[in-house]
Amino acid sequence: MNCYSCESFSLKPVKLDYGLPARECHKCKGVHIDLLSYRSWREDYAGKLETAMKNTTDTKVEQVTATDNKKALICKRCSKFMLKYKVSTEHDNFVDICTSCDDAWLDGGEWQLLKQLQLAGKLTHITTEPWQRNIRAEAVEKTFQQSYQSKLGDVDFNKLQDMCTWIEQHPEKQELLKYMRITFAN
Ligand SMILES: [Zn+2]
Ligand SMILES: [Zn+2]
């Protein structure tokens, strides 16, 4: 089977963390994962990997550079287009999934990125509608905050943020809001 991304190179069987079977392209380092094998691997090892990542002090892990192919990929098994799922709000990386074959394609460095984000055990969660909806909502909130940050400048924006956090966590939150409503009503 050839690489899903660079297409002309054949994939070689490899073992990812804790023996997760995958096929890797030696050129672009992308990996193909059979999600059936992934689910049984996850049962036994995803928790162990998460603990290991939490305890790691390896700085190489911090400097993960994950590439992402922006093109629509075609599944090498069934020739259908694969679906793209965004990994997180902060990262412009997408997991490619063939729902017919139950396969995933990760571009070079994306497995490392998932591990770093504590998402290696959540590969199949990323593809769910609630997960994707949450990412979109976070992106909207980030844009909203950035627009105020540029309007107000960093100093005032940080003051405003501190005040919001203080109100949010205050046991008398509703009373504080009521006071502000009345104070600023006129
Ligand atoms: Zn490749
Ligand atoms: Zn397929």
- Nearest ligand, CA 104: 2
Confidence of residue 23 (pLDDT cuts 50, 70, 90): very high
Q: Which ligand is nearest to the CA of 80?
A: 2
pLDDT at 62: 52
Ligand 1 (ion): residues with CB under 5 Å are: 3, 5-6, 25, 27-28, 30
**Which whole number is the average pLDDT over 176-182?**
96
CA geometry: angle at 37 spanning 27 and 41, to 5°?
100
Task: Kindly state whether residues 99 and 180 are assigned to the same domain.
Answer: no
Same domain, 171 and 116: no
What confidence score (pLDDT) does residue 85 get?
95
Confirm whether 142 is domain-assigned. Answer: no
Query: Does 170 share its domain with 108?
Result: no
Q: How far is the CA of 7 from the centre of ligand 2 (A)?
A: 15
Least distant ligand from the CA of 78: 2
Write the pLDDT tens digit of every residue in 50-96.
888 888 765 454 556 777 877 899 999 999 999 999 999 889 899 99
Residue 186 lies in a domain: yes
Q: Check: CB of residue 4 under 8 Å from CB of residue 32.
A: yes
20 and 108 share one domain:
yes
Using pLDDT thresholds of 50, 70 and 90, give the confidence band for residue 163: very high
Res. 162: pLDDT tops 80: yes
Ligand 2 centroid distance, CA of 45 (Å) = 26
| Residue 184 sits in the same domain as residue 128 | no
For residue 117, the 8-state DSSP code is T
Instruction: State the distance from the centre of ligand 2 to the C-alpha of 163, rounded, in angstroms.
Output: 51
The answer to whether residue 144 is domain-embedded is: no
Residue range 127-140: average pLDDT? 93
Number of compact structural domains in the chain: 2
Of all helices (H) and strands (E), which one includes residue 180? helix 173-183
pLDDT value, residue 14:
97
From the CA of 31, which ligand is nearest?
1
Distance from Cα 11 to the centre of ligand 2, integer Å = 16
CA of 31 to the centre of ligand 2 (A): 15
CA pair distance 113, 65, nearest whole angstrom:
8
Q: Is residue 112 part of a domain?
A: yes
Q: From CA 82, how far away is CA 154, in angstroms rounded? A: 42
The torsion angles phi and psi of 34, rounded to 5 degrees, stand at -80, 120
Ligand nearest to the CA of 1: 1
Are 100 and 39 found together in one domain?
yes
Boundaries of domain holding 169: 153-186
Alpha-carbon gap, residue 39 to 36, rounded angstroms: 5
- Residue 115 inside a domain? The answer is yes
Q: Are residues 82 and 31 in the same domain?
A: yes
pLDDT score at 68: 81
- Would 143 be classed as within a structural domain? no
- Confirm whether 183 is domain-assigned: yes
Residue 139 lies in a domain: no
Domain identity same for 125 and 157: no
Helices (H), 18-153: 35-55, 59-62, 110-116, 123-126, 129-152
| pLDDT reported for residue 69 | 78
